[in-house]
Amino acid sequence: MGLGDVYLGAPVSTPLDPRQRLVTTKYNPARTWTAENSVGIGGAYLCVYGMEGPGGYQFVGRTLQMWNRYRTTAHFENPWLLRFFDQLRFHEVSHEELEHIRRDFPHGRYDLSIETARFRLADYQAEIDKNAEAIETFRSKREAAFQAEMAAWRANGQFTFEDQAPETAEVAALDDNELGIESPVTGSLWKLLVEEGDQVTAGQPVAVVESMKMEVEITTHCAGHVVRLPIAEGASIAPGQPIVVLSGE
């Protein structure tokens, strides 16, 4: 249907047959890293990631390159492979086959099967009308399953992250001789880079916070001795919440 949802040249597509259209949410929080050429679904749309980076679409497969930033080939007259309203058809291959295809395709050594076709709206609408009952049955089942899934998320607290954010009262109190190295953003504590008892210097990275598809490195603003690590890896954190506590000596 279109190009460029996630990255330049990335296809935004949905099955022509409404009975094959899946609907799902994006991940929350999103991933900080997604492999190049990953195929995912977010909402009702399928997309292929043109290059590695963050992302929230739910994975359904892997495929060949949608974007070629290195050279012009028979299939890459432009850096992007596809055009608006191209129709895609995926074929199952082995892991080894896909590795070979990915290696060869950007160099023009793998030939895609491309056919010229005409999409006639009147014919398509006639097919939709012919299968209207089966389409509506599928949509009803899909909607019921989706609502049940969202109800389960609400019940176990996964639907939103507001309830998981630490309250101000939960922030660890500091003694007079202690200094807190704080998070500047809301997120989750992905990794601690120091341990209790370590000596740190000004500007040293001490933790990595995952927030809004990014990895935020937390550094110290002064030298000191690590006396406490009040938050465990994987826990949610709020802005201003100390992640590492140093002695003020």
For residues 31 and 106, membership in a common domain is answered with yes
Give residue 171's pLDDT: 58
Q: On the CB side of 75, how many CA atoms lie within 13 Å of its CA?
A: 19
Residue 126 belongs to some domain of the structure: no
Residue 133 belongs to some domain of the structure: no
For residues 16 and 113, membership in a common domain is answered with yes
Express each pLDDT in 137-155 by its tens digit.
Answer: 999 999 999 899 888 888 8
Residue 161 pLDDT greater than 60, yes or no: no
Residue 160 belongs to some domain of the structure: no
How far from each other are the two terminal CA atoms of the chain, in whole angstroms?
A: 62
In 146-197 the beta strands, taken as DSSP E runs, fall at: 178-182, 187-192
Q: What's the mean pLDDT in 190-215?
A: 90
Express each pLDDT in 28-67 by its tens digit.
Answer: 778 888 999 999 998 889 999 988 888 889 999 999 999 9
Asked if 94 contacts 121 with a C-beta cutoff of 8 angstroms, the reply is no
Residue 26 pLDDT greater than 60, yes or no: yes
Return the top range by mean pLDDT from 144-153, 171-180, 223-232.
Answer: 223-232
Q: At what angle do helices 121-130 and 132-156 cross, to 10 degrees?
A: 80
For residues 32 and 109, membership in a common domain is answered with yes
Of the candidates 77, 93, 117, which is a domain's last residue?
Answer: 117
CATH of the domain at 187: 2.40.50.100
For residues 170 and 112, membership in a common domain is answered with no
From 87-101, 134-148, 151-165, 181-195, the region with the lowest mean pLDDT: 151-165
Residue 127 belongs to some domain of the structure: no
As given in the structure block, the two tokens for residue 66 are 């949608």
Residue 197 pLDDT greater than 80, yes or no: yes
Residue 122 belongs to some domain of the structure: no
Would you place residue 193 in the very low, low, confident or very high pLDDT band (cuts 50, 70, 90)?
A: very high
Express each pLDDT in 105-148 by its tens digit.
Answer: 999 999 999 999 999 999 999 999 999 999 999 999 999 998 99
Cβ contacts of residue 247 below 8 Å, gap of 6+? 177, 178, 179, 224, 225, 227
For residues 109 and 178, membership in a common domain is answered with no
Q: What's the mean pLDDT in 82-109?
A: 94
Of the candidates 117, 141, 157, which is a domain's last residue?
Answer: 117
- The pair phi, psi for residue 36, each rounded to 5°, is -60, 140
Q: How many domains in the chain? A: 2
For residues 82 and 185, membership in a common domain is answered with no
- CA angle centred on 16, ends 12 and 19, rounded to 5°: 115
Would you place residue 168 in the very low, low, confident or very high pLDDT band (cuts 50, 70, 90)?
A: very low
